[in-house]
Structure 1
């Protein structure tokens, strides 16, 4: 028999018996014939015809594998995949008659094994009371692989993607079936696992022959796939099986890269972007200047952009300026963080977003830089999601003025006293300073200052000339400043919210901030129950006297909704309200209900999300702590290449200390 004849029978036969009649072990390939055109679908009996694009077969949960019918459903799903693999291998033989003889011989051998795999599944299905065709059959493999234009396409799509993923699936499920006492199905999966190692190995051999010279296997693999295929699809929904990949001949560089590679599996991903210099961007726009980031501002965004993994989900996309080292991603995964898909700015144009929908875009802040960068994605965002691309928020949203406006509304409702005054010119500012200095020292805050930067303390006995030049400069560059009393801070805390598409304000949680004496951010502490670690004086004051829980959970959301209806009615996204407990001159304590209002993601929100992802897994009553450290002050163990000791001691560097320029964010639990 000719190889072509066996392939034609398998691909075009309309009966299952003919398709699965095992091809001879030895055939001739001296008459491969002409290349065929791609058929719409393989020949099949009516009951085995695949359903239309977009419909997926039902796949049972692993918790029901001890039920015969549920096992049968899974076997039905797998039998269709094995039959499709055999049909696709037959298609390769018919579509590429001029491919190397050794390659074609390997494909033919694998085709026969796929026939045997299908037959083994059919026998096990029959024992479970399921006949082939009584459940929907999806055409996913056919749609993605059959349009191949070269044998290399087949190698990368089937051998190195779907069959490689089966190295995880078949080994893991063989163990699960043994655990529920189904040794017959376990034996089938174990046989398929061994054969799959050979199929992947055959693909690896030819992939290396055909890939571009000078490229690593991982580089060539990534370039060879187009959406919806991606390297992450080469992993099964099962524990990662590095040993099976080694047996197939994949190298350690490829295996380690794949282990940390991610892509959404069905859920439309949200794209996240870290632009921590939002306030500075707005300040430049307000004053008519071009924003030129200084050395520390550049380091802030580049070093800390990995913080986006805190608030994103596993199926999301994080857009980064540079790709993290795979060793660092491995450490994060070992620490318990589910990694998102990573796309760099350099890859963005080449990344096939055009054929891919997004479930929204979520920058750190909707400042001018974010709007400009993300605007090209507008038409790729699904219309029914809240996080649409948008133009920049009004400048007031990045100004201390918005916090002042919130205080005014609270004061009007009799809920809180206003602590500061927003000034737009020198005359108003100096007059307000003079009034405040009668009662004590004064704090000045530049309109678009962030994280305690752009603050100045004015002492009662300080000559006016000492701060006039600073005020003039701030008014020129920021368009305004806040004048407020200098308070003896006892506790800084933050209440976090999310504004929905209908303008509703949802309370998310609360954190305690660690600031230095000048109000500059150092870190955040999170507890399962906010305030549980405060001393008795603070607990009594906040929870009984001030009724802080009711104020921040119930009253602030109502006023926030009113404020945003006036200022930015179309805003959806995160909001943070910073507050402070302070010591009065008479020794008692007071509450500054609103110190600042941040219309963006905040470090407090980062800490809260990290706590939920990392800390609650350990079921510990201890607080978690998020800090941003200067690299030149890092403990030596944090600079260790492995950092395994650090992770074991529950100190997790969130960005890579080895590549950081100035800042390292850490989580401590």
Structure 2
């Protein structure tokens, strides 16, 4: 038998989103995912999600154009900057996955909450691995400035689940599939076996995450009578400010169910 449900899922997610310290947010996200899986949370969406989740006082957030250069990739400074930027991406990804469920779960099938809470737990685990990696190099999350724009796509799509699915998993996370293999090659070339193992784990998990987003997007577009690729293209044109640029990791995207039928027509050749 499941435990008594004294708290709603929305209340638990809101509490996790409003948890600021990074390590505490990791624990909170994992706890929400575990409690949901074990039936301890009622499938009730009775509180609103915050417009912006809480975060630690550091890192300092800077506009993309004001971010300092990472330095040479092989130097200690350059390597720390790389792992710090990845840790920040994963920290924001915890909030993105939690907010996805808390904000849109009431209008979606139960599997939507199951899937995206599992994503939140994965992102929390990724952040913990990256935080440990930084510590092994004498650094920590917050030691460097970080990109301020990562939450903006979530904020801009806060009223539309289809737009959120189109932009966050199917554009931003899919971009991670494209850039991680080259990063993995560089880290292996540096002889960093532990770093390569972390990146491979993240890449494998992100294929699943993009697949989850794509599956729910396609299902909803189909339910609403839309052609999924055309619907995606329209939403991305409207809600995403950047460009869809090659090179693409077509095999990883295909494994996630994101075929060229979606992104090929929007690709900007450079």
Normalising TM by the smaller chain, what interval? 0.7 to 0.9
Q: Please tell me whether residue 20 in structure 1 is matched to residue 29 in structure 2.
A: no
Map of 1:261-410 to 2, 5 A cutoff?
261-262=267-268, 339=269
Q: Which has the higher contact order (CA 8 A, sep 6+)?
A: 2
Q: Distance in 2 between matches of 1:108 and 1:43?
A: 18
Q: TM-score, normalised by structure 1?
A: 0.36
| Structure 1 counterpart of 2:4 | none
Shift of 1:117: 0.8
Cα 1:55/1:11, change in 2 over 3 Å: farther
Pick closer, same or farther for the CA change 1:71–1:228 going to 2, 3 Å: farther
Cα deviation 1:584-634 (Å, max 9, x = unaligned): xxxxxxxxxxxxxxxxxxxxxxxxxxxxxxxxxxxxxxxxxxxxxxxxxxx
The 2-side partners of 1:17 and 1:4 are apart by 21
Q: How does 1:520-669 map to 2 (within 5 A)?
A: none
Superposition deviation, residue 130 in structure 1: 2.0
C-alpha change, 1:45 and 1:231, in structure 2 (3 Å) is: closer
1:42 to partner: Cα distance: 1.7
> Are the structure 2 counterparts of residues 31 and 242 from structure 1 closer, same or farther at C-alpha, using a change threshold of 3 Å?
closer
Query: Does 1:198 find its partner at 2:208?
Result: yes
Find the counterpart in structure 2 of residue 278 from structure 1: none
- 2:164 corresponding residue in structure 1: 154
Higher strand share: 1
Q: 1:79, 1:122 within 8 Å by CA — same for their partners in 2?
A: yes
Aligned equivalents of 1:214 and 1:13: distance in 2?
Answer: 38
State the alpha-carbon separation in 2 of the partners of residues 225 and 254 from structure 1. 10
1:195 is displaced (CA, Å) by 0.5
> In the alignment, is the contact (CA less than 8 A) between 1:69 and 1:129 conserved in 2?
no
Q: Which residue of 2 aligns with 1:383?
A: none
Aligned residue number for residue 164 of structure 1: 174
C-alpha separation between the residues in 2 aligned to 1:11 and 1:214? Answer: 33
1:108 maps to which of 111, 117, 133: 117
Larger relative helix fraction: 2
| CA RMSD across the alignment | 2.5
Contact 1:245 1:255 in 2 (8 A): no
- Equivalent positions of 1:57-206 (< 5 A) are 57-60=67-70, 64-98=72-106, 99-147=108-156, 148-206=158-216
For structure 1, the residue ranges without an aligned partner over 5 or more in a row are: 263-338, 341-669
What pairs with 1:373-522 in structure 2 (closer than 5 Å)? none
Give the drift of 1:206.
Answer: 1.1
Q: Deviations over 1:202-246 (max 9, x none)?
A: 1111111122535251x222101246726844x57xx42110011
Larger of the two Rg values belongs to structure: 1
**Greater shift after overlay, 224-233 or 90-99?**
224-233
Residue 3 of structure 1 contacts residue 108 of structure 1 at CA under 8 Å; is this kept in 2? Answer: no
Query: Is this contact kept in 1: 2:232–2:262, CA < 8 A?
Result: no
Name the CA distance, whole Å, in 2 between partners of 1:225 and 1:9: 30
Deviation at 1:19, TM superposition (A): 0.4
